[in-house]
Structure 1
């Protein structure tokens, strides 16, 4: 996949769009699997969605920091970022389900659970993203970077 030229913006490059779509499919299947493993509690707390949103925020923070620490974005880094970040983690996380489940909880009359769910998701998701960024900052050459360029030795 060559470099992107001025006359071919990334959003018009079908190869890049295919990477995002493939990553989105992987992430969506993973989210579905987590939902099967972590069904809502008897009190209605949507554990599967809560887990994927907090974990996804952490992973996205780590991924983007790891990519940024590699220096200027190369075509290879762009493909990794689009596949893993926009695609996989975009398909894995689901704030639309957060909204739908919150509406369902309020409709069931469990307003405190709904409010707790929203606040916990947003606060813990933000903290998880920050933790991911901090983890990405901990090393000069992240594990992610070594995976991209195994020929480089620290």
Structure 2
């Protein structure tokens, strides 16, 4: 038996072990992307205008991930597939920093340079602030109850 043949069962075993994770991330990503699409349909942004919908989606998604991570990492024991499903899949599909980049480019191309720069700078700052605030609020709420 060659070294390559000896390693094959381990590779197949590793792939089989990761299949459920890949599956829940894919399903969660579909759910999150559908939710983002619904937000864009319900609150459309006219071409060339400030992309409030995507800004709000990204900030909301970041706030939810802050609260979620406190709950699953510090307060509760969660099934091993919850984090990949909800954190990576649903929230990864819901938030869209690629659309953020396209929207920044679109604002620049529309000649709305001040809006483009504001959006470019504000999105990561507000998104990080949302994670921090939701994390702090969730910790405060959960651990106040326990004491």
TM-score bracket, normalised by the shorter chain, equals 0.7 to 0.9
Off by >4 Å, runs of 4+ in structure 1: 6-12
Structure 2 gap segments, 5+ residues each: 1-9
Structure 1 gap segments, 5+ residues each: 1-5, 143-154
- The TM-score with structure 2 as length reference comes to 0.81
- Asked whether 1:51 is paired with 2:51, we answer no
For residues 9-88 of structure 1, what are the structure 2 equivalents within 5 Å?
Answer: 13-40=18-45, 44-70=49-75, 76=79, 78-88=80-90
Partners of 1:68 and 1:9 in 2: CA distance? 25
Aligned residue pair count:
135
RMSD: 2.7
Structure (1 or 2) with the larger CA radius of gyration: 2
The verdict on how the C-alpha distance between 1:114 and 1:11 changes in structure 2, with shifts beyond 3 A counting, is farther
Partners of 2:15 and 2:66 in 1: CA distance? 22
CA contact (8 A) 1:10 1:16 kept: no
